[in-house]
Structure 1
Amino acid sequence: MAKSSDVLQAPQVDAVRLRGLETSIGLHLRLAQLRAYDRFFDAFQGVDLRPGEYSVLWLIHQNPGVRQGQLAERLEIKAAQMTKMIRRFEDQGHVRRVIPDEDRRAVCLFLTEAGSAFTLRHQGAFFGHDTQHHHGLSAAEVGQLIQLLTKYTTPTKGTGQ
């Protein structure tokens, strides 16, 4: 371990060199996620909500009666985490769970009237922070970025990836 006197004699570094990480897709995805989350939390100040939670509410709004398992699979949320999130939404009065008679193992999700109002009230804040501010990207670049990210995150058939 270096002594404090060694640290004091070390040259001052003006910038951290990435040394190979500049080509890491994972690094750039993580930095982009952090920027997106910062903008989300700026737009949702005072609202106890996370980006993934709004996505779940939005998709229930768009797909009334969606099965909880299907939604968890589509958003790649672990079943236990999804159950916890849905229970929280139920406690808040935003979501109603229905177990269909034809498949007692399934859970279908619906927004309550309050949940629908909440989701629609925050729609502009959720979608607006990306659609109104392209963060230095042109509209064409935003479209290209979304297309590339969709391609990157879509599993390839037959590979399990």
Structure 2
Amino acid sequence: MRDAMEQEAEDAPIRMGAITDSLGFLIRLAQIKAFDNFFENLGDHGLKPGEFTVLWVIGLNPGLRQGSIANTLRIKPAHMTKLTARLVQRGLVTRKTPKSDRRAVRLYLTEEGSGFVEAHRENFLSFNFTEKDNLSQEEADQLTSLLKKFTGLNACH
């Protein structure tokens, strides 16, 4: 009898209550969904979403300081160092330290890195459009706009 009651409780909808009104909770679930979709559709490229984002940003801003990228993308410095090391090891990024400031590490895409970004640009960007399949175009545009405003990225292009 207890097993039947446990099974019934297991099959019942899970009540979430007021937490479903929490922006942080909803954003976290949305992030997990987006990452699951990313790996399902693009996991064979051997990169994580954040790694491609860093490659993208470096491609648009060659010579940008590693710390500036980390600050903009909210990546912890230690994690950014490891992420950069992986991209350097793969031959996609090169680090340069200016003689005038030995503390500043500037990042550049290698020729292979530029080729990789260009070759996979459409896959990664078109994936971003399929993330919004549950939304109308108007809803997707509104959500994107609101998230840019919320994160402070509304001024970035």
TM-score by length of 2: 0.87
Q: Percent identity?
A: 40
Q: Which one-letter code corresponds to 1:148 in the other structure? A: L
Aligned match for 1:32, one of 25, 30, 33: 30
Is the CA contact (8 Å cut-off) linking 1:43 and 1:126 kept in structure 2? Answer: no
Does residue 20 in structure 1 map to residue 46 in structure 2? no
Higher normalized helix content (fraction of residues): 2
SS in structure 2 at match of 1:15: coil
Q: Which one-letter code corresponds to 1:104 in the other structure? A: R
Deviations 1:126-153 (A, max 9, x none): 1111224522212221111111112222
SS in structure 1 at match of 2:17: coil
- Counting matched residue pairs gives 151
- Superposed CA RMSD in Å reads 1.9
Aligned match for 1:59, one of 57, 62, 73: 57
- Shift in Å at residue 25 of structure 1? 1.2
Q: Distance in 1 between matches of 2:88 and 2:46?
A: 15
SS in structure 2 at match of 1:101: coil
Q: Distance in 1 between matches of 2:131 and 2:36?
A: 13
Q: Which one-letter code corresponds to 1:112 in the other structure? A: T
Q: Tell me which structure has the larger Cα radius of gyration.
A: 1
Q: Distance in 2 between matches of 1:121 and 1:42?
A: 19
- Shift in Å at residue 47 of structure 1? 2.1
Q: Distance in 2 between matches of 1:45 and 1:85?
A: 17
Q: Distance in 1 between matches of 2:45 and 2:131?
A: 21
Does residue 115 in structure 1 map to residue 90 in structure 2? no
Q: Distance in 2 between matches of 1:23 and 1:90?
A: 41
Distance 1:16 1:132, change over 3 A: closer
> What stretches of structure 2 of length at least 5 have no aligned partner?
none
Which residue matches 2:146?
148
Q: Distance in 1 between matches of 2:128 and 2:88?
A: 28
TM-score by length of 1: 0.85
SS in structure 2 at match of 1:126: helix
- Shift in Å at residue 35 of structure 1? 1.3
> What stretches of structure 1 of length at least 5 have no aligned partner?
156-161
Distance 1:20 1:132, change over 3 A: closer
Deviations 1:65-115 (A, max 9, x none): 111010000011111111111111111111111111222210110000001
Matches within 5 A, 1:128-147: 128-132=126-130, 134-147=132-145
Is the CA contact (8 Å cut-off) linking 2:132 and 2:140 kept in structure 1? Answer: yes
Does residue 92 in structure 1 map to residue 90 in structure 2? yes
Which residue matches 2:45?
47
